[in-house]
Structure 1
Amino acid sequence: MDLQLNNKTALVFGAAGGLGSAMAKTLASEGASVVVADIDGEGADSVAATIRAAGGQAMSLQWDLSDIATITSKVEEIGSTFGHVDILVNNTGGPPPTPVSGQSSDEWLKYFNMMVRSVIAVTDAVLPSMRQRKWGRIITSTSSGVVAPIPNLGMSNSLRLALVGWSKTLAREVGRDGITTNIVLPGRIGTGRINFLDEQKAKRENRPLQDVIQESISTIPVGRYGDPQEYGDTVAFLASPRASYITGSVIRVDGGLISSI
């Protein structure tokens, strides 16, 4: 299937990490020019270099999403190289594992700025151009915790859920402008973040790491962790003209893990 992404520019955040890298590389392989953005500048450079080595078009940007004041200049920098942003993939890191109660106001504000405020601000920066051209894709990667809250990820469950309400509302506001906006949430995908969470659980419960992993896998109907490529493929389809009638949705890439309908 031709996803018709030639001559499209995609801005992917968190693109030096497991899911972000997979999304960036897949969009590039489908013909999009990709802006690889991450707070880890060297990591972003590495992913962009890999894309170019495979014949794709990519530029890297060291970008701290919590620094709202830099958004305008960063978008202008993209414009000078690739022009307007057609596809925005919002993908942020998350807070450390914590209960939802007993967290300081400063911690809540810190992660709200990083995970929610920044996403909204970047989206607002690229929307005018999308509206003018009557085409755009806003894809926001969150967590399965927005559907089924994950124990000991209280701040993540709460803050990421705010983005679900925002995305659904935005879909109604921009749909007639040819812009779709969707949430994509991963189940247990084999990335560094999942490895970290498994390790933290093993330490917290004083159990062997392999036992924790096998216990987790036993809850997944397909019997394994997901491959980041499978996540990237889903995002690439949603970013394409082929998915023009999908908006305001929450797409699960979870191997059947989430038990709710």
Structure 2
Amino acid sequence: MDFGIAGKVAFVSGGTKGVGRKVSEMLASEGCKVVVVARGQQAIDETVGAIREKGGSAVGVSADLTKKQSIFQALEAGCQAFGSMPDIAINSVHGPGSGNLMDVTPEQFEQTFQEITLSAVHLAQAVLPHMKEKGWGRFISINSGAAKEPPKDLKHLLANTVRSSVVTLNKSLANEFGPYGITVNTIGTGYIGSERMYDYLAKVAAERGISVEQQLSESCSQIPAGRPGRPEEMAAMIAFLCSDQASYVTGLFIPVDGGIHQSAW
């Protein structure tokens, strides 16, 4: 299937590891010019190099996308490389650590809101006006299924609370920018087989005094698919949402989680 996005400029935050890297590679394979954005320069160089080795077009930018000025600088670097602001923007920011109500402070809530919600706002304010001028655009946030259904065994009060605000932000943006050929969607992940997931499982296993293998088995027993997801499975959904074929899909929170979140609505 031709997704119709060859030649589009794609801005991928967190684009060097796990799901983000697979998104960078998959969009490049569809002919996009990819701006790979992350903090670590070595990982950026490796990702850009891998894309170019396969004939893709990519540049890398080291930036902290929780900071407004860094977002603008990264966008400017991409514009200088490809001559255009992004047609596609993938927003992904790692969440805070674990904690229940009495473990967190008001200052941590403020910081988490800055890092997750306001970073999405800053990116949207920077790219959506340009997409509106072009009459075409895709804005996608990689989020967590816990934003809609917080599981009782994950002590992620900060992330669960703040990430849900990105879901409603994107629904509001879909309303505002839908008439201009722009779609805005949110992906809700579950257990995705990445370095970050295994680090988390190791931490939980240590707290419980069990092996990582046992913790993984218990976690997977809750998933109808019976296994963690693969980063490329997430990337495939995101690539489709970027396509011309998905031009009527907007304002949605889409779980890609093996069926672990089972609400009817």
Q: Check whether TM > 0.5.
A: yes
Instruction: Check if 1:47 corresponds to 2:50.
Output: no
1:215 aligns with 2:186: no
- Describe the SS at the equivalent of 2:184: strand
The TM-score, its normalising length taken from structure 1, stands at 0.97
Does 2:164 match 1:161?
A: yes
Matched, 1:239 2:234: no
Give 1:22 deviation, angstroms: 0.9
Of stretches 200-209 and 178-187 in structure 1, the one that deviates more from structure 2 is 200-209
* Structure 1 spans left out of the alignment, 5+ residues: none
CA positional deviation for 1:102? 3.6
**What does 1:18-33 align with in structure 2 at a 5 Å threshold?**
18-33=18-33
Match of 2:227 in 1: 224
| Structure 1 counterpart of 2:254, from 251, 254, 257 | 251
1:181 corresponds, among 156, 179, 184, to 184
Partner of 1:197: 200
Alignment correspondent of 2:106:
105
Count, aligned residues: 261
| CA distance in 2 between partners of 1:128 and 1:144 (Å) | 29
Which one-letter code corresponds to 2:260 in the other structure?
Answer: L
Tell me whether 145-154 or 27-36 shows the greater mean CA deviation.
Answer: 145-154
Report if the CA contact (8 A) 2:225-2:258 is conserved: yes
Distance 1:123 1:17 in 2: 22
- Rounded to whole Å, the distance in 2 between the matches of 1:76 and 1:188 is 34
CA distance in 2, matches of 1:71, 1:253: 27
Shift of 1:10: 0.5
**How far apart are the structure 1 equivalents of 2:33 and 2:63?**
18
For residues 73-84 of structure 1, what are the structure 2 equivalents within 5 Å? 73-82=73-82, 83-84=84-85
The Cα offsets for residues 48-86 of structure 1, whole Å up to 9 and x where unpaired, read as 111111110000000101221233333222111111200
What are the superposed Cα offsets for residues 117-165 of structure 1, whole Å, 9 maximum, x if unpaired? 1111011101111000000000001001012113201111011101001
1:122 corresponds to: 123
Structure 1 residue 100: Cα displacement: 3.5
1: distance between equivalents of 2:21 and 2:232? 9
- The runs of 5 or more residues in structure 2 that have no matched partner are none
Instruction: Write the letter of the residue equivalent to 2:101.
Output: V
**Contact 2:61/2:77 (CA < 8 Å) preserved in 1?**
no
Shift in Å at residue 249 of structure 1?
0.4
2:170 partner amino acid: S
Q: 2:4 is matched with which residue? A: 4
The amino acid across from 1:170 in the alignment is L
Identity %: 33
Task: Calculate the TM-score normalised by the size of structure 2.
Answer: 0.95
Per-residue deviation, 1:237: 0.3
How has the CA–CA distance of structure 1 residues 128 and 225 changed in structure 2, closer, same or farther, with 3 Å as cutoff? same
> How far apart, in 2, do the equivalents of 1:70 and 1:208 lie?
40
Paired position in structure 1 for 2:91: 90
CA RMSD between the two structures: 1.1
Q: Which amino acid aligns with 1:68?
A: K
User: Cα offset for 1:184?
Assistant: 0.5
Shift of the alpha carbon at 1:215?
Answer: 0.6
8 Å Cα contact 1:41/1:63 also seen in 2: no
Q: Secondary structure at the match of 2:12?
A: strand
